[in-house]
Amino acid sequence: MTVNGVPRALASETFGDGWHRVESDGNGTGWRWTDGGGDVRVAGGRVLDIEISQTGRYWLDACDSAAAATAAA
């Protein structure tokens, strides 16, 4: 992640509530996961670049799908 072109360390305070601890492959590559609601603190920032490296698909129960549809309406 960069803010105004400046890289932010994975352990920096830029990553607020909703982020899990930094993980690593042991070879210098690190990453962080969110719980789905990760805050990003960029006070004074104008340009935010985020690299998304992994995504996944998740099944929702019928009740969850109905609640999501109602909330989006």
Copy the structure tokens of residue 1.
């992640």
What band does 63 get if pLDDT is binned at 50, 70 and 90?
low
* Rounded Cα gap, residues 48 and 15, in angstroms: 13
Q: Which pLDDT score is estimated for 16? A: 93
Q: Which pLDDT score is estimated for 28? A: 86
Rounded percentage of the chain residues whose pLDDT exceeds 70: 79
What's the whole-model pTM score? Answer: 0.62
What band does 50 get if pLDDT is binned at 50, 70 and 90?
confident
- Using DSSP's 3-state secondary structure scheme, residue 34 falls into strand
Please give the average per-residue pLDDT across 1-21, as a whole number: 93
Euclidean distance between the first and final Cα of the chain, in Å? 32
DSSP state of 7: E
